[in-house]
């Protein structure tokens, strides 16, 4: 994988992570957090899709690497919503 392909993959993950944050209505951090959320969302979303027997809807293939865009957005939305609930509960306890 070349540097350009890695940057493209990071860009796609960042866009998916930021869309997930927007859908969840909870935003913390900047570009690096969005990239991390995109990758975590891809893991969570793909795991849920396999668990429920759902097909890959929109997958980008970048030099032999595939990135599940729709599952990444949905997975990052669920992950960010869960983080938001945990943080709200811990703030109420203080």
Please give the chain's pLDDT, 94 residues, in tens: 788 888 888 898 899 989 989 888 877 778 888 889 888 888 898 899 999 999 988 888 888 878 888 999 999 999 988 888 887 776 666 5
User: Are 41 and 74 spatial neighbours (Cβ–Cβ below 8 Å)?
Assistant: yes
pLDDT at 53: 92
Structural domain boundaries, residue 10? 3-93
pLDDT at 93: 62
pLDDT at 77: 92
Report the C-alpha gap between 58 and 77 in whole angstroms. 17
| CA end-to-end distance (rounded Å), the chain | 47
In the chain, the number of structural domains is 1
Cα R_g (the chain), whole angstroms: 14
Report the C-alpha gap between 32 and 3 in whole angstroms. 17
pLDDT at 92: 65
């Amino acid at each position: 994988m070349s540097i350009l392909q890695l940057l493209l993959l990071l860009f796609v993950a960042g866009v998916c992570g930021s869309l997930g944050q927007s859908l969840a209505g909870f935003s913390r951090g900047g570009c690096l957090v969005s990239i991390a959320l995109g990758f975590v969302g891809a893991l969570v979303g793909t795991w849920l899709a396999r668990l429920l027997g759902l097909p890959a809807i929109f997958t980008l293939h970048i030099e032999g690497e595939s990135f599940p865009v729709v599952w990444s957005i949905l997975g990052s939305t669920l992950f960010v919503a869960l983080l938001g609930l945990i943080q709200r509960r811990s703030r109420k306890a203080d």
